[in-house]
A and B are shown apart, each in its own frame.
Chain A
Amino acid sequence: MIPMTRVEWEQQLASDYNRRGRRKTDYYSDSKIGLADLYDEESLKSSGFDAQRDLGFPGTFPYTRGIYPSMYRSDFWIMGQYSGFGNPEATNERFKFLLSQGQTALALALDLPTQLGLESDQELADGEVGKAGVAINSLQDMEAIFAGIPLDKVRQVFTTANAIGPIMLALFLALGEKQGVDPSRFTIVLQNDILKEYVARGTYIFPPTPSLKFTADAVEYCTRHLPHFKPLVICGSHMRQGGASAVQEVAFTLANAQAYIDEAVGRGLDVDDFAPSLECQLSVPMNLFEEVAKYRAFRRMWARLLKDRYGAKNPESMKCFIRVYTTGYTMTAQQPLNNIVRVAIEALAAILGGAQSLSANAMDEVLSIPTREAAQVALMTQHILANETGIADVVDPLGGSYYIESMTNAIEASALELMQQIADKGGAQKAIEAGFYQEIIRRNAGEYQKEIEKGERVIVGLNRFVDDKHKMKIESFKADEGVQERIIQKLRALKAGRDKEKVRGCLCALEQDARLGKNTVAALIDCARAYATIGEMCQVLGNVWGTYKEGAAWL
């Protein structure tokens, strides 16, 4: 029998469509990459695919198939559920619970006043103390959060300090001293990615130029003194959550990475001395295959960027450690239990894509911060994927799939185009200052909403399969409304009891270093040791650098 040709199959396809109809005229990925009916060897070839150049082996350049040869056959990914709320004592309790449930790293969520360098008793902080994370004013609060949790007993601690990144670094180092644990025995991961704050997350304090310099202070300090720390996690996830597509997420993240690398290289650091400590954080919405392809494209682009543009020689510089957060905007407040399924699928995509660390959202995060039960389900989702499905048992199980490899190429090509546009605008900082990223993201978010309202995009339980009769009710987290007052009391007691002269001296030294353009981390560590507050440190830095504010506008 003569094997069927592609042309013959397409004739069969056409008659099948004729007979059975088609759900849509055209099919697209979330990034609006057009999808063919079928991917085969031909489509792969025509996308310019070269297995040797584009794939290689896992753990080898360009790392498309993963950054380790053995991937999850050696060890599962890091399961770092994001948590932290209320006062330090409540967070301490939640951390101990998560550790007892097999969580392998801690991810410390900070409340917004803390992230913005406000003290808990400032008027602007009212109502937000201990809400989106834990309130930290000084080293005293760090001691309470980690009471009974020596820093060397967790694989790593990650925190969402951005505008205050170097300050959190200083607080952790001071905490290590207090606990008597040498910093060589623990790893701190700072998000410390200020550029995306002006685009999507919003917790900037100072203007972009000094902020970028402040970020680089932590990178420089860790490179010189604590090379095993992770001083910067370059994030696409927030921009993605804000509305960016997969392609835009990749391009924006890599363009921002260039800005940081340029800044560090500009300080005389060798790219191979600091690039191995950089990590990236990406989101994972529901379009499963596009997401898998996105991680593979991202790793390859990172490797090529570091090698070709920055002349990195050390393979560690070219391996991108990817942290993944499942997505908030894909969740629905309607039928919230369905979010468990969504999180599981998103988490699956991240693992099939080769992530190193995964934080699975809890089903109720669309309503409030998670209850203990919801947080547990999210963590168990990871354990189920790891232990019951077999997805971790073969390295890069989807590698070589015609569709995945074609999609990987398409994402890389489109993202490179967008990166060129950013470069033409003078690089990431200038493009962001001009609102280039923001405009793209805003338009996308608007389109997404329109697709939902027109019913072109089906969201189960929201615009289809709606059930008004039987309401799915879940418990929601009850914020402890008395917590703000207690935190404020503690802050005032701290201020009354500290060595005021010492605090003043340390803050003066910090101001001096900032004015002279010196690296601020050493002075920040002295401030942390003296129990100066994050608010006081930011006040001093703001005096030197100024602050940044968004203004109102007619649309």
Chain B
Amino acid sequence: MKSSRRIPRVLIAKIGLDGHNRGAQVVAYGLRDAGMEVIYTGIRQAAAGVAKTAVEEDVDVIGISSMVGAHLAVMKRLKKELEALNAADIPVMMGGIIPEEDYDALRELGADAIFPPGSEVKGIVQYIRGVTDGLMDSGSSGNLVRQQD
């Protein structure tokens, strides 16, 4: 964890074939407006490329947006690629159309936080600040599903 850095650095990515970019962009620009450094990958990225960018750019959090039901497959691929780069400690948050039944499976695959439809950008900002401030043990928390609050 890079808790010493003051400005959080976030990678927002679309992995797989899903082209729905509204959510990812709203979050990416929302985080930027909240003063964070944000890289947006654009749509249709490979998991390997996203993992590589995350490591090279030394990001604090990776955010993945999934809107077409591929979230489990995407998370699995990303985790594998991060492990291959010894970077499995970078917390991954996932947002988009994710049915509640899949939350447990996603957490088991390593998702650190889940932001379903209706989540607010300020909730995501809060989560990331929690991670970068070192207030949150990003590796073990399993209850970070953020509903509307």
Binding site for B on A (CB under 8 A): 112-113, 115-116, 118, 124-128, 131-132, 197, 200-203, 241-243, 329, 331-334, 366-369, 442, 445-446, 449, 452-453, 462-463, 466, 476, 479, 549-555
Contacts and interface: CB of A to CB of B under 8 A. Distances in A.
Contact of B40 (A329, A446, A463, A555): A555
A426 B68 CA distance: 35
Nearest to A114: B17
A124 B68 contact: no
Contacts of A462: 118, 148
Interface residues of B, number: 44
B141 to A, nearest CB: 21
Given A550-B42, A554-B38, A132 B116 contact: no
Contacts of A550: 42-44
Given A131-B70, A333-B118, A453-B120, A549 B44 contact: yes
Nearest to A331: B117
18 contacts: A112-B16, A124-B46, A128-B69, A197-B19, A202-B21, A242-B21, A243-B22, A334-B118, A366-B117, A367-B99, A368-B69, A368-B99, A369-B69, A445-B25, A446-B33, A453-B120, A550-B43, A553-B39
B20 A127 contact: no
Interface stretch (B72-80, B84-92, B128-136): B72-80
A10 B30 CA distance: 42
B68 A453 contact: no
Interface in B19-58: 19-22, 25-26, 28-30, 32-33, 37-46, 53
B42 A551 contact: yes
B44 A202 contact: yes
Contacts of B33: 446
B55 to A, nearest CB: 13
Contact of B16 (A128, A332, A466): A128
A295 to B, nearest CB: 23
B116 A449 contact: no
Contacts of A203: 17, 19
A449 B16 contact: no
Contact of B68 (A112, A242, A555): A112
Contacts of B77: 126-127
B76 to A, nearest CB: 8
B36 to A, nearest CB: 9
Contact of B22 (A115, A241, A331, A333): A241
Q: Which 5 A-B pairs have the closest CB atoms?
A: A202-B19, A127-B73, A550-B42, A112-B17, A333-B117
Contacts of A125: 17
A126 B122 contact: no
B26 A132 contact: no
Given A333-B117, A453-B120, A555-B40, A128 B22 contact: no
B97 A366 contact: yes
A466 B120 CA distance: 14
Contact of B148 (A200, A329, A466, A553): A466
